Amino acid sequence: MTRIRPFHPGDEPALAEICVKTADAGADATGVLDDDDLWAEIFVLPYVARHPDFAFVVEAEDGRVVGYIVSAPDTAAFEAWFETQWWPRHAVRWPQPGEEDSRQAGILRYAYARRGAGEQPFGEAYPAHLHIDLLPEAQGMGLGRQLIARLELALRSAGVRGLHLVASAENTGAIAFYPRVGFEPLASPEGTQAFGKVL
pLDDT for the residue numbered 102: 93
Q: Please say whether the beta carbons of 101 and 95 come within 8 A.
A: no
- The answer to whether residue 11 sits within a structural domain is yes
- Decide if 44 is inside a domain: yes
Give the chain's mean pLDDT.
93
Is residue 136 assigned to a domain?
yes
Q: Which tens digit of pLDDT belongs to each residue from 3-34? A: 999 999 999 999 999 999 999 988 999 999 99
Answer yes or no: is 74 within a domain. yes
H/E stretch holding 18 reads helix 12-22
Within 8 A by CB and 6+ apart from 8, the residues are 57
User: Does the residue 67 lie in any domain?
Assistant: yes
Is 135 contained in some domain? yes
Strand 128-134 to 3-6 pairing: unpaired
pLDDT tens for each residue of 115-147: 554 456 777 899 999 999 999 999 999 999 999
125 lies in a domain? yes
pTM: 0.93
Tens of pLDDT, residue by residue over 74-83, are 998 999 999 9
Domains held by the chain: number: 1
What is the DSSP track for 81-134? HIIIIIGGGGTTTSPPP-S--SHHHHHHHHHHT---GGGSTTTTT--EEEEEEE
The predicted model gives 97-115 an average pLDDT of 88
- How far is it, in rounded angstroms, from Cα 23 to Cα 30? 9
Residue 117: per-residue pLDDT: 45
| Nearest-10 Cα torsion for 170, 163, 122, 47 | -70
Does 193 reside within a domain? no
User: What CATH number has the domain bearing residue 147?
Assistant: 3.40.630.30
Range of the domain at 103: 3-160
- Report the run of H or E that residue 196 belongs to, with start and end: strand 192-198
pLDDT of residue 115: 57
